[in-house]
Amino acid sequence: MNPLLSALQPYPFERLRQLFADVAPPAGLRPISLGIGEPKHPTPRFIQQALADAALQPGGGLAGYPATAGDPALRRAITDWLQRRYALALDPATQVLPVNGSREALFAFAQTVLDPSRPGATVVCPNPFYQIYEGAALLGGATPYYAPSDPARNFGVDWDAVPEDVWARTQLLFVCSPGNPTGAVMPLDEWAKLFALSDRHGFVIASDECYSEIYFRDEPPLGGLEAAAKLGRADFRRLVAFTSLSKRSNLPGLRSGFVAGDAALLKAFLLYRTYHGSAMSPVVQTASIAAWGEEAHVVENRAQYRAKFAEVTPILAEVLDVALPDAGFYLWAAIPRAYGNDDAAFARDLLAQYNVTVLPGSYLARETRGGNPGAGRIRMALVAETAECAEAARRIAAFVRGLPPARSDS
């Protein structure tokens, strides 16, 4: 067996399952989960139809092996979307690749980029973070370094806290903007700082942008490639952005996304993917073309999240330290002082008394010299319909106030 597998930590949801193993929630309250960030809004009908039509196409659809590089029509649909969204002009032949969701691509990209034979191979990632970053680093033979989030800056990452000697041995930097779990969006001056560090030390930047289309301000979140173009880096050197249709179009089961950026990096990534066996199904490609080419459903999806957060956030803000994020579909809340930093105990008691599941923030972070930056916080994924999320918020508010649960299946 690969000895590096032993370095992997349990996934947050496995830890949550173990935490709740002997909890018996009240039978009179139906369960509500805010734990997993899995979109629950309906999948647009026109995308479902495109998928079905492609599968039933005579002589096509499922009748042949797909190319790893993807159909030129899909790559063009992606670059057209990047032009509309970010005013970017990318070459569909060399600067984009379709992938089976951003999760698999983030992991695979690290295996392409990392050179564990170089002493001190390091991957820098935010803390808290999406655990794929850590797993990709460890299985790539590198050591993760966790850059802490700063509560004083809306939980943006404190890149200045990373020592210069760490940057010097860094091979890959994972950026997540809008962030998971904090929802923080990185401004242009921070991108400029990271690009300067990349130029000085030669590391690659992987920009995870899967929450880019769910936002609450008038101005959409700045993307990594967009930031590079604004700063005169039109070749996107040492920069690759990752996004998907999962959150944008409510298609987590489709497993469809793309990577875009530095043509030299994508050439190497395509070579890796050719051997990795990660070509996208032709029927998924057809549905993806339909999704990337239509924006009205994205606007409607965003409006649903805005209305939901507008209703739910004030309920929780009465009892918890929580505020509307810059973007994304999570609330990142501090637990009551009575629990100290024991976010796991808070989550366990909430389930036991009110049958609501939240994710302990400490499960999304790692202990460093400054402590665990997720301790004392919880992540709530507002992915269900508004009424269900509002009911969960009311139960959480009652729990924090110490009120007995109402025994009804409301």
pLDDT tens sequence across 6-43: 999 999 999 999 999 999 999 999 999 999 999 999 99
* Alpha carbon separation from 123 to 108, 115, 208, 233, 299 (Å, rounded): 14, 11, 14, 23, 35
Pairing mode, strands 377-381 and 359-360 = antiparallel
pLDDT tens sequence across 118-153: 999 999 999 999 999 999 999 999 999 999 998 888
Percentage with pLDDT > 90 across the chain: 93
* Alpha carbon separation from 264 to 235, 237, 355 (Å, rounded): 10, 8, 50
CA atoms of 349 and 398, how far apart (whole Å): 13
pLDDT tens sequence across 271-301: 999 999 999 999 999 999 999 999 999 999 9
How many residues are recorded in the chain? Answer: 410
Q: Where are the alpha helices (DSSP H) in 114-235?
A: 131-139, 164-169, 188-201, 224-230
57: burial class by Cβ within 10 Å (0-12, 13-18, 19+)?
middle
Does residue 135 contact residue 8 with C-beta atoms inside 8 Å? yes
In angstroms, the first-to-last Cα distance of the chain is: 49
pLDDT at 171 over 50: yes
CA atoms of 30 and 146, how far apart (whole Å): 38
CA atoms of 92 and 200, how far apart (whole Å): 29
Percentage with pLDDT > 70 across the chain: 98
Burial 320-337 (b: 16+ CB within 10 A, else e): bebebbbbbbbbbbbbbe
Residue 58: the pLDDT is 83
Residue 403: the pLDDT is 72
Q: What is the DSSP string of 338-361?
A: GGTT-HHHHHHHHHHHH-EE-EEG
Residues 257-272: what's their mean pLDDT?
Answer: 98
Residue 407: the pLDDT is 52
52 Cβ contact partners less than 8 Å away, ≥ 6 residues apart: none
Give the global pTM.
0.95
Residue 338: the pLDDT is 92
pLDDT at 88 over 60: yes
- Neighbour count for residue 172 (Cβ, 10 Å): 25
CA atoms of 40 and 12, how far apart (whole Å): 20
Dihedral sign computed on CA atoms, order 68, 234, 124, 322 = negative
Q: What is the DSSP string of 94-116?
A: TSEEEES-HHHHHHHHHHHH--T
pLDDT band of 75, cuts 50, 70, 90: very high
Average pLDDT, the chain: 95
CA 370 vs. chain centroid, Å, equals 24
pLDDT at 409 over 50: no
Does residue 183 contact residue 328 with C-beta atoms inside 8 Å? yes
CA atoms of 314 and 200, how far apart (whole Å): 45
Residue 154: the pLDDT is 81
Specify the residue for token string 């690749």: 97
pLDDT at 328 over 70: yes
Residues 240-269: what's their mean pLDDT?
Answer: 97
Q: Which residues pair with 175 in a beta bridge?
A: 207
